[in-house]
Amino acid sequence: MEEEEEDRLSNDELMDDWLIESIKLYNNLHAFELQDPTKVIEWTGEKSICVAGFKSGGRSEILELTLPQKLCAKEDQGLCPERDFKMEHGGFSERPIYCLKHVQGTRLLVSSGPPDNSLQIWQIGVDDSDVIRLLNCINNEEQNNHWSKIATSAAGSPCVLHGTHVKNLQVTEIESTKNVFLPGIASVDLVSSLEFLSKDAFLLCSVRGQMWLMDMRQQKVVAAQDVCALPAEDFYWCMGVERRQPDLDAVPCRVAKLSSTGYIFVSDVRNLAKHMCQTKVSIPSPVAENKFMNVSWAPALDNNIAVSGFSGSIEIYNITSWHSTDTEACPMFVHKGHTVLEDRDKGEIPLVTAHTWHPWKPRTVLSAATDGSLQVWEWR
Amino acid sequence: MPEIKVTPLGAGQDVGRSCILVSIGGKNVMLDCGMHMGFNDDRRFPDFSYITQNGRLTEFLDCVIVSHFHLDHCGALPYMSEMVGYDGPIYMTHPTKAICPILLEDFRKITVDKKGETNFFTSQMIKDCMKKVTAVNLHQTVQVDDELEIKAYYAGHVLGAAMFQIKVGAESVVYTGDYNMTPDRHLGAAWIDKCRPDIVISESTYATTIRDSKRCRERDFLKKVHETVERGGKVLIPVFALGRAQELCILLETFWERMNLKAPIYFSTGLTEKANHYYKLFITWTNQKIRKTFVQRNMFEFKHIKPFDRSYTDNPGPMVVFATPGMLHAGQSLQIFKKWAGNDKNMVILPGYCVQGTVGYKILNGQRKLEMEGRNTLEVKMQVEYMSFSAHADAKGIMQLIRMAEPRNVLLVHGEAKKMEFLKQKIEQEFSVNCYMPANGETTTITTNPNIPVDISLSLLKRESVPGALPDPKKPRIMHGTLIMKDNSLRLVSSEQALKELGLVEHHLRFTCRVHIQDPHSEQDTLNKIYSHLKTVLKDSSIQHLPDGTLMVESILIKVSTASEDPSTKILLVSWTYQDEELGSYLSTLLRKGLPSS
């Protein structure tokens, strides 16, 4: 008991040290503990996010949380004492949630996860209650036991682009569950990331780093990027598309592609064949699969990219400082909160599972880790 | 089936005050008696008309329990006891009893003197109310009367805050009040044993909140203080004498030490005396760390924090001052505020709720121009920060508490079941309990299934137990006995013993049935045949020939006679007592089948 107490005290001191350091590093810092870790943080409104459990064997919860008042206040932030998240809605899922997307302008969510590639459609707040209810299931024409990647579009009638492999991608109308478009791209690679760029165009990235820009009106691939000519290793790739505030509807211009060994390539979506710039970022070790790999663009800053999934920290880069893949890029800022702040039993250092940028507050990021922590931080 | 009824008083959805009525085992208990700080009229008081339409509450309540000194839990107590009328016992912990009257008096002064209210309790009423209070210790079982007992548990949250267990016989309820599950710098975490109450009553807001860590709140405080001091500004922190002030002082001291800062930190003298006094009295209520340091030194003896003198207010340069009172409504903190408000380099940090009518309340609502006495206007240019340091449990914490206590049911107040379907399901499934969420003014009736312990007489136990077999709770057996309820004892004894104790003679009930069988032999032969037959069938029973020609099987008598109309028909008279019903009816059925032809 004495030893335990001592350990707790010295752990406290280490935390105190980091917190005092953090006063210089952060404007704002909030740390929360969810009951179950999440690998999704999805915005469902200006002030709300959804998180969901992904444990296998047993139910997972989907929760819609409203942001603390203090984070939403545009003026007089000092007069807001509220620093807590509020659980507004919740639902139970029989399967773990690996991917969760909100359909903008609606109260619908689309999720996917093992054991198969079907999608689950949810409605938030049925009958003015706090329930997130399962409405429907959408099956892929080609059923298999991988989990689907998802992108949603609300332009016109809400649709979802989904699939496990490039060749089985389909665009399905949510209400009718009818397919409205089949890209029919002949590649057997697994899909890594999907994103709608506009009502009619979407970008897709395979796990091998190949990208296609598809125009649904013209019904053809209008731009493509090949697999990178890099030393042969088992790379996994994912992508992040830039969306500029305030005009979220404008066609985004750039896409960043991240590999499991830390390479990042940036291209203009209108000219995918070329790389605009590239670099290699320092990572503790390559990850075996792209389970938590994440790269994203800051909506309220210029040229800022966040990278996570390789360790317990999140790195922010400014791409204008990149030269080539020969020299490792230096992050502008590293958030270590997940490795320091939790009162956990000694043992594993948590891995960051997800991160997302605040839609309009510059330099503000929300991140989650395998120990159930959820942090909101704004660096100086 | 016995029931427990719970009714949160109040109306609609409002959360501002706590006052819950519980009816258990024929007793009525009021849990907390809070004031709603958002209203200026009668809505701020709980609606006691639920208990009785008019008149005093004394005969309707067995006791009142107050969980801690926050006004939304005790603010209406003097109103209830002195203006509505209640003379029964009021229970709270020792620190609560010491601190309540101070807060109530402050609150009264502000409301009456500053706002000129008339329908409010007086100072004398507060004193009279506190005379009715009995202080309790942690984990001490207090007998309210012969049947009702209560016990307080540590709740953390603020000094003296407690969770209460209310027990009548085998039924019990645990009321959490406000509590928190993570220890902070001066208080420990809530704790309760696996008392398995029928119901745990707690706040629904806890279950729907995910709280920012204590450390991040502290960080924010330190950052604000540091920034102000760095730019040469002054920081005013109005505090109530206890708890929070202590904690913030410890925090600043640690920070100043680490960062090697030189700016002076002061606390006003009123603070030290009172605080030291209370801490000495209630040292057992603080956490381990504080207790260790207290043994070595005085509570308010800090390296970097010194007592304040009025003259320092005008000193140039940065400084931090903790001053009372906490809502800037009078005294030293208000005086300092008036001097520092005009400078935008300065900052005031309000660490708690401010009552309407106070300067604290006004500036927290964004007012930048204040009217002072003598029609002077004060322009507030200094930065105003509202920081909440209150330690409350959250969704994770409430799950921990439920896991600790293992209740059969959970009841959350200040929520509404129709709107909280997910939360209800979540709790029900996680703990296999029923979860109730009454709206304010709504009564929830929960059926309980209490175990009633009964003494069993040794002889009855011996008679009824199966030799060599242990009782199995999954396989209940029916036993026969008599339950005697006398005075406060419940005893299970054999019927004979009961009759003996009561001085009654047992009635005997005898059944006789006639069985006709065909047998041309003599009556004696028939009797012998019956004897042999039964001997074969009933190997273990005693079968005897009685001298008068009757056959006795155990205690059952069988007589043979010949039918008058037909000599080959024999009439068997089978007679048995009520106690031997089973064997008796078995024999009559057996004999009806006829005798084996030998």
Q: Do B386 and A89 touch (CB under 8 A)?
A: no
Instruction: Decide: B77 and B17 in contact? Cβ < 8 Å.
Output: no
Which among A23, A65, A84 has the least Cβ separation from residue B211? A84
Instruction: Decide: B320 and B313 in contact? Cβ < 8 Å.
Output: no
Cis peptide bond upstream of B89, omega within 30: no
Q: Is residue A174 assigned to a domain? A: no
Structure tokens at A274: 């070329």
Phi, psi torsion values for B446, nearest 5 degrees: -115, 125
Cis peptide bond upstream of B264, omega within 30: no
Interface mutation target, options B181, B219, B252, chain A, most CBs of A under 10 Å: B219
Q: Is residue A252 assigned to a domain? A: yes
Partners of A30 in beta bridges:
A376
Count of the separate structural domains present in chain A:
1
Q: Examine the pLDDT at B173 and tell me if it is beyond 70.
A: yes
Instruction: Decide: A215 and A201 in contact? Cβ < 8 Å.
Output: yes
Stated pTM of the model: 0.83
Which among A81, A82, A90 has the least Cβ separation from residue B426? A90
Give me the pLDDT at residue B299, please. Answer: 55
Interface mutation target, options B204, B422, B429, chain A, most CBs of A under 10 Å: B422
Over its C-alpha atoms, chain A yields an Rg (Å, rounded) of 21
| Angstroms from A33 CA to nearest CA on chain B | 7
Q: Is residue A343 assigned to a domain? A: yes
Report the C-alpha gap between B274 and B240 in whole angstroms: 10
B23-41 pLDDT, tens digit per residue, is 999 999 999 999 887 777 7
Local structure of residue B535 (DSSP, 8 states): H
B329-374 pLDDT, tens digit per residue, is 888 899 999 999 999 999 999 987 788 888 999 999 889 999 887 7
Domain that holds residue A290: 1-33+231-380
Instruction: Select which of B82, B203, B218, B247 is catalytic.
Output: B203
DSSP assignment of A316-367: EEEGGG---SSSEEPPSEEE-HHHHS----SSPPP-EEEEEE-SSSTTEEEE
Residues of B in contact with A78 (CB under 8 A): 383-386
| Angstroms from B242 CA to nearest CA on chain A | 20
Give me the pLDDT at residue A1, please. Answer: 46
Interface mutation target, options B204, B223, B235, B256, chain A, most CBs of A under 10 Å: B223
B461-514 pLDDT, tens digit per residue, is 888 777 777 777 788 778 888 999 988 789 999 888 899 988 998 888 889 999
Report the C-alpha gap between B349 and B340 in whole angstroms: 13
Which among B207, B210, B383 has the least Cβ separation from residue A65? B210
Q: Is residue A19 assigned to a domain? A: yes
Please indicate if any CB of chain A lies within 8 Å of the CB of B203: no
Tell me the torsion sign for CA atoms A54, A55, A58, A61: negative
Report the C-alpha gap between A89 and B71 in whole angstroms: 31
B466 vs B22, more confident:
B22
User: Quick one: how far is CA B307 from the chain centroid?
Assistant: 42
A192-227 pLDDT, tens digit per residue, is 999 998 888 899 999 988 999 999 888 888 888 887
Task: Report the mean per-residue pLDDT for chain B.
Answer: 87
Please indicate if any CB of chain A lies within 8 Å of the CB of B343: no
Q: Examine the pLDDT at A90 and tell me if it is beyond 80.
A: yes
A306-349 pLDDT, tens digit per residue, is 999 999 999 999 998 887 667 788 899 999 999 887 665 556 78
| Angstroms from A49 CA to nearest CA on chain B | 13
Report the C-alpha gap between A214 and A199 in whole angstroms: 11
- Search chain A and give the residue with CA nearest B422: A131
| Angstroms from A56 CA to nearest CA on chain B | 17
Report the C-alpha gap between B281 and B220 in whole angstroms: 32
Give me the pLDDT at residue B527, please. Answer: 87
Please indicate if any CB of chain B lies within 8 Å of the CB of A288: no
Q: Do B384 and A79 touch (CB under 8 A)?
A: yes
Q: Is residue A53 assigned to a domain? A: no
Residues of B in contact with A80 (CB under 8 A): 386
Give the ipTM. 0.89
Please indicate if any CB of chain B lies within 8 Å of the CB of A335: no
Q: Is residue A286 assigned to a domain? A: yes
Q: Do A19 and B425 touch (CB under 8 A)?
A: no
Please indicate if any CB of chain A lies within 8 Å of the CB of B287: no
Instruction: Decide: A155 and A199 in contact? Cβ < 8 Å.
Output: yes
Q: Is residue A211 assigned to a domain? A: no
Q: Examine the pLDDT at B234 and tell me if it is beyond 90.
A: yes
Please indicate if any CB of chain A lies within 8 Å of the CB of B385: yes
Report the C-alpha gap between A373 and B14 in whole angstroms: 31
Please indicate if any CB of chain A lies within 8 Å of the CB of B371: no
- Search chain B and give the residue with CA nearest A19: B219
Specify the residue for token string 């093992």.
A114
Please indicate if any CB of chain A lies within 8 Å of the CB of B70: no
Specify the residue for token string 């207090």.
B142
Give me the pLDDT at residue A347, please. Answer: 65
Report the C-alpha gap between B220 and A29 in whole angstroms: 8
B203 catalytically annotated? yes
Please indicate if any CB of chain A lies within 8 Å of the CB of B184: no
**What's the one-letter identity of residue B39?**
F
Report the C-alpha gap between A357 and A334 in whole angstroms: 15
A111 vs B258, more confident:
A111
Please indicate if any CB of chain A lies within 8 Å of the CB of B499: no
Q: Is residue A241 assigned to a domain? A: yes
Mean pLDDT to the nearest integer, B208-216? 89
Q: Helix (H, G, I), strand (E, B), or coil: what is residue B119? A: coil
Task: Report the mean per-residue pLDDT for chain A.
Answer: 87
CB pairs under 8 A between A and B: 107
- Search chain A and give the residue with CA nearest B399: A35
Q: Examine the pLDDT at A248 and tell me if it is beyond 90.
A: no
Strands of the A42-45 sheet, one edge to the other: A42-45, A48-52, A60-66, A85-93, B209-210
